A and B are shown apart, each in its own frame.
Chain A
Amino acid sequence: MAGFWRLAIPEGPVRRLALGWLGLGVGALGASTVFGLWLLIARTPYLSRLLGAGGGFHTALVLHVGLSVLIWFLAFACLLWTLAQHRYPRVGWGAFGCCVGGALLMLGAPWVGGGRPVMNNYVPVLDSPLFLAGLGLFAGGVALQAAATLVGGLGRRPGQSGAALRTGLYLMAVTVLVAMVSLGASWATLPRTLPAPAYFEALFWSAGHILQFAYTLLAMVAWLWIGGAAYSGSPWARRAGVVLFVLTAVPLMAVGWIHWNYAVISPEFRTAFTRLMSYASWPAAMLLGGAVLLGALRNRGPEPRQARRGLGLAVWLFVTGLVAGALIRGDNLMVPAHYHGVIGAVTLSLMALTYRLLPELGFPGPALRVESWQLRSYGWGLLLWVVGLAWSGSQGIARKAPLGGQLPGGLEAVAMGMAALGGGVAIASGLGFLALMSASLVGGRNAILGVLPPWRRGAAAGGARVDHRLLAAVLTIGLILAGGIAVSRVSGSGPNRWPPPDPRLEPVRHAQRARETEIGQRFQQAVAMLHAKQYEHAAVALHRVLELAPALPEAHVNMGFALVGLERYGAARDFFISATELRPMQVNAYYGLAIALENLGDLLGAMGAMRTYLHLARPDDPYRRKAEAALWEWQAALDAGRPKTAANPER
């Protein structure tokens, strides 16, 4: 009975192949976690300034998604398929080779003249031949393994242990193959003239949605394996399990109908798949999750409760993701909240299943407490991340972009900070998972082979003659030398500012610069207007200049000239006077003042001003002659008692 919800792992080549798939999956998850850390930093307030101009954010996003959602999940699926059906080991190895090759190509593509990252949903890609070839190779390998599993499963014997699980796995294989076929159909009918983002979005739309069904099945398999005997109490429970698997897969029969009836780029096609996934992918999974959880809570079954670590959190995470999905209203952060919830639930389930599989694969698992800590921190970290994202999404913050200059305040920052905290915890936990797996696989191998690492051999030999002093001295000197060289390389490079200064703390510079720019622009505008004799416009521009720079003598002078043009001599006189008060050497102010005073009838004053102008002006000043002429005329007028306007002959 206990063996019903698990698959036996035979010794020999099957175990090695299974280990290979596990290694590929865990490695991809680890690499994806590292990229996830990059993304997290780029989207956290204050930390995002570390990364400068958001370099490489989108490439990191592409790799993060591809490595986790595609490679980690599908490699794990291949692992389970290998355990379910191993009639064709050579095909299995071939598929494994293809997948590893594809994964390496995808990972290497950015470093080798990377293509532009395309931010389409479901399977974002780098638009480079290397990446796309890698993707294709990986997909081919998975399809090969899925097909081999199905063909091998055709001849299965009834009553075999784990039959219901196998059913689920076969259905998953069928789902993945349907996704590939749908992808092929889309590719065949999609016009190639579309711009890259629209092209890839349409290309992967159907396959992406269908894969979600496959991942749901994967999660269900994992829950049954972990939940184990707690679930099965009776024969009808087993049948119910099979029925739930079938219920998850059956809606995919609509795929053919959708492809037949709608063009790939039509909105109906898009909506059909969205509706298919939103309504049909999860109900059976929820029923199963609930049943397994209930059984686990009631502690049925011979296994101890610790054996069901991670199960409860996984189911809750899944539910949270689904709820977030239901709350999606537009393309904001609620969308990543949704998919991180459900995908995180699947990842958590697979992590827990991995711990279960390790002993059966012949490796020592980590201590129970450590394992439980890792799973719980991952689950809670993701929950916090999802809730934080959902909260931010409800406030309409944009997605898929580094935070860069966007510095939210108040509640938004708290929401994003919460998301960052949860994300950080989840990432640390993911790295912890990787570390635990490495320790188990590497250490376990040595335990199997009977080889102790060199630093333990001495103690094992119980040496009383042990003398590490020379080693210590060599290590000390070597590390100091090497460390010093490393530090001098890093820090001796000259001026840098890290972290970059917070613009909020230095408002002076920015405000100052903005003002200066405006002053300059307006001033030029005014001068141009004056030349064009547009005195009204010039006055308006100069008003603004004077607002920003009330002590700028040139602005006062030009305002005076504008007012002279508008024949408002009294105001003009005031401006000329204030210009001279601001700068007694402001030469042109005296000229203007003279003109204004003349038109106001104050010839004596005008003469005085004009004399001052002549006294201050440069010998080659073009207006000297006019000024002298005016002065002579006024003198003559005063002598003759007649008012004259010789200074401004244009009037």
Chain B
Amino acid sequence: MNGFDGTEFMGQTVKPPDNPSVMGRGAPRDLRISRLQRALGALASLKLTLAILAALGGGTMVAYLSEARTTWALVLPLAAFSVNLAAAVATNPVFRRQTALLMFHLALIAIVLLIAVGRLTYLKGQLELAQGQVFDGQLTQEESGPWHPRRLDAVRFSNQGFTIGYAKGMRRAATRNQVAWTAPDGRPRQAVIGDQDPLILEGYRFYTNFNKGFAPVFVWRPRSGASPQLGAVHLPAYPLHEYRQAQEWQPPGSRSPLWIMLRFDEVILDPEKSSEFRLPTEHRLVVRAGEARRELKPGDAMHLAEGVLVYQGLRSWMGYTVFYDFTLPWLLAACILAVASLAWHFWRKFSARPWNPPVS
């Protein structure tokens, strides 16, 4: 058969008679092989492709409407798509000559595989750091794939403070957060991250998010004689929770919780003009322990049943989102390859024949 001009999908699932794999074998083997060929041919059917595309569309809707990102509604059509495509690559004659088209479809398979690997090894989480605090591998919120290699414990960086500008109308502008860490070669490094500049350590991408607020810092001296500890309490995010700057907190080793509230009178973020997030110049910290209530200023100590609470002062805390997916560069390369090869295929196909050839 010489009807292959290479410019059209033939859409046939019947093998051409000069296919060497069918010629010249004994009868039983013929049957076996031809059954395999038939099965592959069926799997390679283009009509099946159409059905899978439709199923993928449905799966997308399910994923969109449901909470989970990875659902069977998506995984099954993608798996079927890979099988369908692999079968087509093995049997459909058009892939033999049209290299670019084949590369596009292979790149699609690669994308599906890479996304699968990514889903197995990813991590997403949240954390908060007060100014001066060092990240020690603890996340406040986390979701990860089953095969995620936990390297977060090896990551250390400290939050050195931030500035966030606000335009009129309290619209958040740029976030600038100074962070410090030790490079693998032992040298201390510093950088300013924010908004779209993550800190990338060990493949983990730390992004500042829009949560930030005030953090009163305490020294807790337990009466039990254990060593004093320095800690910061993260009050609810500001200005999101402007009027609820209170938090309940249990000092380490104590049985009764404390209730802490920050009070200040000045306007930090004025909607009438552009401003900046900053600590209030004048503030009071209300601490309630059971029946006792004190208003603390920096330096004040409060004697409680289980220890002494010394208020050091007010600092800020910054919220971070962490993301890990090591397949990203290869995923990007596969996407670019897919688009480039498809474009190349279309270019060659369309320039070979005009759409409106002159009527002879």
Contact = CB atoms under 8 A, between A and B. Distances in A.
Contacts of B97: 466-468
Interface in B317-351: 328-334, 336-337
A471 B99 CA distance: 8
A469 B102 contact: yes
Nearest to A489: B329
A505 B274 CA distance: 11
Contacts of A482: 333
Contacts of B281: 551
Contact of B165 (A479, A497, A509): A509
B81 interface: no
A469 B110 contact: no
Nearest to B282: A583
A583 B322 CA distance: 42
B186 to A, nearest CB: 17
Contacts of B337: 476, 479-480, 483
A480 B165 contact: no
B299 to A, nearest CB: 11
A506 B106 contact: no
B84 interface: no
B121 to A, nearest CB: 15
Nearest to B1: A464
Contacts of A477: 110
B275 interface: yes
B199 A494 contact: yes
A484 B276 contact: no
Contacts of A476: 103, 106-107, 110, 337
A557 to B, nearest CB: 15
A495 B197 contact: yes
A477 B106 CA distance: 9
B55 interface: no
Interface string B174-209: 100000000000000001110011111001000000
Nearest to A463: B97
B198 A484 contact: no
B276 A486 contact: no
Contacts of A469: 89, 95-96, 102
A467 B167 CA distance: 62
A484 B191 contact: no
A620 to B, nearest CB: 16
A194 interface: no
Contacts of B95: 469, 472
B2 interface: yes
Size range of the chain A interface in the assembly:
35 or more
B163 A509 contact: yes
A487 B99 contact: no
A646 B34 CA distance: 119
Contacts of B102: 468-469, 472
Contact of B96 (A468, A484, A492, A506): A468
A475 interface: yes
A233 B197 CA distance: 70
B220 interface: no
Contacts of B336: 483
Interface in B93-114: 95-97, 99, 102-103, 106-107, 110
B204 to A, nearest CB: 11
B173 interface: yes
A508 interface: yes
Contacts of A495: 191-193, 197-200
A545 to B, nearest CB: 15
A480 B99 contact: no
A271 interface: no
B166 interface: yes
Contacts of A467: 96-97
Nearest to B193: A495
Contacts of B196: 497
Interface in B265-292: 274-276, 281-282
A487 B333 contact: yes
Interface residues of B, number: 41
Given A476-B107, A476-B337, A480-B337, A508 B332 contact: no
Contact of B276 (A493, A508, A551): A508
A581 B330 CA distance: 63
B333 A506 contact: no
B164 to A, nearest CB: 10
B165 A485 contact: no
A622 interface: no
B113 to A, nearest CB: 10
A551 B268 CA distance: 13
A560 B330 CA distance: 68
B166 A508 contact: yes
Given A494-B199, A495-B199, A472 B275 contact: no
Nearest to A509: B165
Interface in B1-45: 2, 4
A485 B200 CA distance: 16
A488 interface: yes
> Chain B CB within 10 Å — which of A476, A484, A496 has the most?
A476
A583 to B, nearest CB: 6
B165 A506 contact: yes
A457 to B, nearest CB: 14
A464 B4 CA distance: 9
A375 to B, nearest CB: 23
A501 B195 CA distance: 12
B173 A481 contact: no
A466 B281 CA distance: 79
B301 to A, nearest CB: 17
Contacts of B197: 495-497
Contacts of A195: none
A479 B333 CA distance: 8
A480 B2 contact: no
A494 B174 contact: no
B333 A483 contact: yes
Given A495-B191, A496-B197, A508-B173, A484 B103 contact: no
Contacts of B332: 483-484, 487
A581 to B, nearest CB: 11
Contacts of A551: 281
A464 B173 contact: no
Contacts of A485: 329
B152 to A, nearest CB: 17
Contact of A508 (B96, B106, B274, B334): B274
Contact of B329 (A464, A491, A501): A491
Interface of A: 464, 466-469, 471-473, 475-477, 479-488, 491-497, 501, 505-509, 512, 551, 583
14 contacts: A464-B2, A467-B96, A469-B96, A475-B103, A476-B110, A483-B336, A484-B334, A485-B329, A488-B328, A495-B197, A497-B197, A505-B173, A508-B165, A508-B167
Given A464-B4, A484-B334, A508-B165, 9 more contacts: A467-B96, A472-B102, A480-B110, A481-B330, A484-B329, A487-B330, A494-B199, A495-B191, A495-B193
